[in-house]
Amino acid sequence: MKSDPIAPSSEGTTLFVTAEQAGTRLDKALALLAGEISRARLQQVIREGGVRLNGAVASDPSRKVAEGDALALIMPEAKPAAPIGQDIPLDVVYEDEYLIVIDKPAGLVVHPAGGHEDGTLVNALIAHCGDSLSGIGGVRRPGIVHRLDKDTSGLLVVAKTDKAHQGLAKQFADHGRTGPLERAYLALVWGAPRRMHGTIDAPLERSNRNREKMAVVSEGRGREAITHISLLERYPALLKGHEEQEALASLIQCQLETGRTHQIRVHLSHIGHPLLGDQLYGSGFATKASRLSEGAREALAALGRQALHAAVLGFAHPITQEELHFESEPPADFAKLQAELAGL
């Protein structure tokens, strides 16, 4: 049974582990006891020394607790987000007091990082949402529960309250296996999968050769990564005599079952069908551009990025539990390349 939400305090609030929480991790027990504070936020507080277990500081979130243990929780005041608010236009698809769904343009970095200290989606959100984002999800990425690469366009949801952040984070951690979470992408790739539908189940970890890249590793290593793909169109599908041949490029839909860094880009490259325009994972296919029509070559050059668009996003509203579903048409540069490949 959860207690009332805990306000920031320098005195601390003492909670007692019940039989229900006995044997669980410290962070999980606190999440069950502490009301509307997200588990990620509690992990941060634990590591910063804000929790005492039976009078002693407990800084390990994974430490097991026992029935009757006394947990003293000192919640600090929410820190203002380090990034500043900036008046950057946002394409808002949906918004209420708990969350906001954005159609992110290609070229917009999601959160501040090395080389991108401002001009990010987080900067835009701070200006748009104001103080409601303070303290949510950490000072560097308030409200961010999932991300899109800088050069990937499409749908992204951001939490505006800690309770919404907790509910959304739980759905993304579950990967939609027991709930309505859905993430689907449109991708223009070199060649075409032989089957109309398939699953890429290949674990990923940071590449030892290039730390900017992720790499597929053998089973038992890395993190689980699963992508479901469906072939939508082949370019071209027919040649003289209407004999089907290996396609030069194709349009596929990728549905994520997990959400690892660069997952779709790595998985498609792994099966021999990297994204058009992907300089990091598809550089070996750059010469294929010479086989495209003049219009398609120009459209690919104008795209200047990987041809990947987050077209579908669905989830349960973390507060009302209403199932929400959003779709986004590809941006003009993606649509132009698709049309040129199709000969339209």
Active site residues: 149
Residue 264's contacts (CB-CB under 8 Å, 6 or more residues apart) are 185, 187, 227, 254, 256, 275, 308
Six token digits for residue 334: 């993606």
116 sits in which H/E element: none
Residue 178's contacts (CB-CB under 8 Å, 6 or more residues apart) are none
Residue 172's contacts (CB-CB under 8 Å, 6 or more residues apart) are 145, 146, 181, 259
HSE-CB at 5 with a 13 A cutoff on CA atoms is: 7
Six token digits for residue 300: 């690919």
Residue with tokens 């990947």: 308
Euclidean distance between CA atoms 88 and 280, whole angstroms: 28
Euclidean distance between CA atoms 191 and 276, whole angstroms: 10
